Amino acid sequence: MTRLPTYFVSHGGGPWPWMKDQYGPAYAELEASLVDIKRQVGVRPNAVLVVTSHWETDAFTVSSGTAPGMIYDYGGFPPHTYQIRYPAPGQPQLAERVAQLLNDAGRPARLDAERGFDHGTFSMLAPIYPDADMPVVQLSIRHGYDPAIHLAAGRALAPLRDEGVLILGSGLSFHNLRQFGPSGAQASKAFDGWLQHVLLELPPAEREQALLNWSAAPSARVAHPREDHLVPLWVALGAAEQEPAACVYHEDSFFGALTVSSFRFGAAAA
């Protein structure tokens, strides 16, 4: 099996793939970038591991059910968005493997057979694998958002890339809901510029050090008052920490004014 790249994906807002009548072309660029991930990966993965910003726990937790349900973790959307189904199967064996890798690395992890798919998972996966026939396992982020812990978790999970598992970190490179519009334009651009520089231009050791000190970046705390939507980036990078990054989605008019990006770590298929 080819070693698969990892990704940090800006997943958009709520159940947007099911609201094209309301949003029109607002998500066209993001959708195209997600669709293209399947091409970049080049092979059919054995399964997908989603590190989701919408699941926080005190210890790493892995969804281990065989047929995960749905979690509609949003409010104020049309009634039909609370009937969405993304019927991808779970994969208990992969969940156990993820937990084992984390535990062996000294990062306590447990299983949760009841956890369903949250919108950070199903909204992002729907354009990539619309048939929902790819086994999907979710990994939580840890309370406290410690960059070093999440980078280390990524390192522990790196062997999965040689086992046909596609690791997708699902968050958003700008996540300040009070400034989702023109008021966030300057901060999102400044933080995105820093992120592009760090991920694309710095050597691995310096890249990691910069991310450990991410809160010193320009407009960092405006871009992420709570860094839950940045945390999956650290896991995705940790699993490919010596490999080059590529920007696979970049838009400076998200929600009319915001600059947001997604990144791949490791090589795309030829």
pLDDT confidence tier of residue 60, bands split at 50, 70 and 90 = very high
Domain ranges of the chain: 6-174+229-265
pLDDT mean across residues, the chain: 95
Both structure tokens of 169: 């970190």
Question: Taking Cα atoms as reference points, which of 157, 189, 162, 156 lies closest to residue 258?
Answer: 189
If you average pLDDT over residues 217-236, what whole number do you get?
Answer: 96
Residue 56: pLDDT over 90: yes
Can you name the CATH fold of 6-174+229-265? Answer: Protocatechuate 4,5-dioxygenase; Chain B (3.40.830)
pLDDT confidence tier of residue 95, bands split at 50, 70 and 90 = very high
* 7-21 per-position pLDDT tens digit: 999 998 889 999 998
If you average pLDDT over residues 159-179, what whole number do you get?
Answer: 93
CA distance 224 to 141: 16
* 180-212 per-position pLDDT tens digit: 888 889 999 999 999 999 999 999 999 999 999
CA distance 78 to 83: 10
What pLDDT is stored for residue 136 in this prediction? Answer: 98
